[in-house]
Amino acid sequence: MSIRGAAYIAGIYEHPGRDLPDLTVWEIHIDVARGALADAGLGMEDVDALFCDGTAGFGVLTLADYFNINPTYVDSTETGGSSYLAHVGHAAAAIAAGKCNVALVTLAGKPKSGWQGPSFTPGPESAFEQVWGMMGAPHSYALAAQRHMYEFGTTSAQLAEIKVAASIHAQYNPNAFLQKVVTVDEVLNSPMVADPLHRLDCCVVTDGGGALVIVSPEIAKKLGKTNAKILGHGEAVKHTNNGRIDLTHTGAVWSGPKAFAEAGVNVKDINYASIYDSFTITVLQTIEDLGFCEKGKGGAFVADGGLVAPFGKLPFNTDGGGLCNNHPSNRGGITKVIEAVRQLRGEAHPAVQVPNPQIALAHGTGGSLGSRHGSVTLILGQEDA
Amino acid sequence: MSTLPNPAPTVTQANAAFWAATAEGRFQLQRCNECDTVLWFPRRHCPSCWTENVSTFDASGKGVIYSFTVIRKGAMAYKESGPFVVAYVELAEGPRVMTNIVDCDVETVTVGMPVEVVFHDTGQGNALYRFRPSSK
């Protein structure tokens, strides 16, 4: 069974706020849920499947209770910031299997104005990783960046090009947290956080959230609007492999081929890509691993505006991405899907809208490149794609 | 050269033997008696063939830096440390282990640098295994 064409993303909503001290996480969840349902032309009463990550209280139990809905299909897959792309794939499979017809995915969090995020039970590895002063994602991703530079000669200036491209896009997004266009030099001159990653190699920290509504083909047809057809999905977990961690590849080497095969397309068919951008190195490794360029050549690929919309080699993250626009709850997966759908609908900002895109890709990387992460690739397209 | 804190690890049933050995200045590894795989991190079963037939041995304490970062500003226990190095060291026996690189200027650390283990007492009945540059 394939999910190709079995479901559509009919509703999207990104919370416009980036600093939300006066809202609870639960209020953000319901605001984005209602926003995405309204966008689809549906209501809360239509939802029969509920998806959320592992940070939302007791997951689907908490949210179903708060929303006061009675879903008959639920899924709290937790792969960090890539969770929501996994949810889309799982929702499509569930719809294809006849388990549900209207799936709601929500994300909300407040890392900026007051962290109400998860506290996971320490894993069996924690005693061997938590005593060295590794306190945050930048430290861990820096290990991956350093090794990539060593093996392939990637430079800080090349990584900086990724931030520059994101900032060029973000200037057109009135909700973006950072709207100023930056230069390579400005990235290189920003404070070093964890060598070789500078402050501007990192994503923003914002409150907020987003939601998606995935529906069956029958419902998509009734809604009578431009919906994004789900063409393919792949997911993978990449981990430390019994102490043989490989820092230069991501799980995209596994999730990408699965998604492309299911969709029946290849990299040349992709007109727009949302690439998870927790850090500049995340983008660089991902575009290599998805096959947009040869392994180790990502630095050359992103140079000279390779990622700049609408006419770069691979127009990416036209909302400004996690690097400039929004990284709600320290998780950028849902906004990756949202911007890919905007592109397919022709609803991106005119300055960055890709002309008549047929097929878009969205990729999530959750967890850490420096230890273990979940990779999820989605391929979406127009009705006749 | 920064002076690092020595936070005690969370000792559990599964890793108690490993940490107890560090108090005696020994870095122990496990090897699978069925498939010869060297394990990391310590655990009851072999992650290659999933049998429980594993034994413990004293490692050489030698390795090379696989990757590293200089953390410019630490937090919590490391708040006052100044710039310090976190690395993956590839041990001579194969596993890549997360650790700190010590006893050198942080600006001189490179990928591929040969290192050897040193132990820093936590005062809690065990010691942190860190690595310093070595002559090979």
Q: Give CA–CA dist A28/A25, Å, rounded.
A: 5
Q: pLDDT tens digits, residue range A231-269?
A: 999 999 999 999 999 999 999 999 999 999 999 999 999
Residue A124 within any structural domain of the chain = no
Rounded to the nearest 10 degrees, the angle between the axes of helix A25-40 and helix A60-67 is: 70
The candidate with the shortest Cα–Cα distance to A272, out of A223, A303, A228, is A228
Neighbouring residues of A122: CB distance < 8 A, sequence distance ≥ 6: A130, B10
Residues A187 and A49 in one domain: no
Chain A, nearest residue to B84 by Cα = A133
Q: What are phi and psi of A316, to 5 degrees?
A: -130, 155
Residues A190 and A309 in one domain: yes
Residues A71 and A196 in one domain: no
CATH code for the domain of A105: 3.40.47.10
**The pLDDT of residue A114 is above 90:** no
Q: Give CA–CA dist A248/A253, Å, rounded.
A: 11
Contact A274, A85 (CB under 8 A): no
Residues A244 and A304 in one domain: yes
pLDDT at residue number B78 = 97
Average pLDDT, chain A: 96
The candidate with the shortest Cα–Cα distance to B88, out of B76, B98, B100, is B98
- Please state the domain extents for chain B: 16-133
Which chain A positions have a beta carbon within 8 Å of B95's beta carbon?
A: 242-244
User: Given CB atoms, is A159 within the 8 Å cutoff of chain B?
Assistant: no
Neighbours of A78 (CB within 10 A): 18
Residue A130 within any structural domain of the chain = no
**The pLDDT of residue A228 is above 70:** yes
In terms of CATH architecture, what is B16-133? Beta Barrel (2.40)
Do the Cβ atoms of B88 and A143 come within 8 Å?
yes
Neighbouring residues of B13: CB distance < 8 A, sequence distance ≥ 6: none
* Average pLDDT for A31-46: 98
Residues A361 and A323 in one domain: yes
Contact A283, A163 (CB under 8 A): no
Residues A265 and A181 in one domain: yes
pLDDT at residue number A121 = 84
Residues A248 and A110 in one domain: no
Q: Tell me the Ramachandran region of residue B82: left when phi exceeds 0, alpha when psi lies from -120 to 50, beta otherwise.
A: left
Residues A148 and A19 in one domain: no
Query: Helix and strand tally (H, E) in chain A?
Result: 11, 11
Instruction: State if pTM tops 0.95.
Output: yes
pLDDT at residue number A122 = 87
Residue A362 within any structural domain of the chain = yes
Provide the domain count of chain A. Answer: 2
CB-closest option in B10, B39, B48 to A126: B10
Residues A263 and A336 in one domain: yes
Q: What are phi and psi of A118, to 5 degrees?
A: -80, 155
Q: pLDDT tens digits, residue range A305-338?
A: 999 999 999 999 999 999 999 999 999 999 999 9
Contact A316, A275 (CB under 8 A): yes
Q: Give CA–CA dist A219/A42, Å, rounded.
A: 10
Which chain A positions have a beta carbon within 8 Å of B76's beta carbon?
A: 135
Chain B, nearest residue to A137 by Cα = B71
CB-closest option in A130, A147, A192 to B72: A192
Q: Which of A126, A129, A130, A131 is the best mutation test for B, with the most CBs of B within 10 A?
A: A131
**β-strands B84-91, A208-215 pairing:** unpaired
Q: Give CA–CA dist A41/A344, Å, rounded.
A: 18
Which ipTM value was assigned to this complex? 0.97
Residues A13 and A92 in one domain: yes
* Average pLDDT for A174-202: 98
Q: pLDDT tens digits, residue range B22-39?
A: 999 999 999 999 999 999
What is the percent of chain A where pLDDT is above 90? 94
Average pLDDT, chain B: 96
Residue A2 within any structural domain of the chain = no
pLDDT at residue number A225 = 82
**The pLDDT of residue A116 is above 60:** no
User: Given CB atoms, is A146 within the 8 Å cutoff of chain B?
Assistant: yes
Residues A278 and A220 in one domain: no
Neighbours of A377 (CB within 10 A): 31
Which chain B positions have a beta carbon within 8 Å of A144's beta carbon?
A: 67
Residue A102 within any structural domain of the chain = yes
What is the percent of chain B where pLDDT is above 90? 96
Q: Give CA–CA dist A302/A96, Å, rounded.
A: 37
Residues A19 and A149 in one domain: no
Q: Give CA–CA dist A355/B69, Å, rounded.
A: 41
pLDDT at residue number A103 = 98
Residue A371 within any structural domain of the chain = yes
Do the Cβ atoms of B4 and A133 come within 8 Å?
yes
- What is the CA angle B63-B64-B65, rounded to 5? 130
pLDDT at residue number A117 = 62
* Average pLDDT for B70-99: 97
User: Given CB atoms, is A124 within the 8 Å cutoff of chain B?
Assistant: yes
Residue A273 within any structural domain of the chain = yes
**The pLDDT of residue A301 is above 60:** yes
Which range marks the domain in which residue A363 is found?
Answer: 135-202+232-381
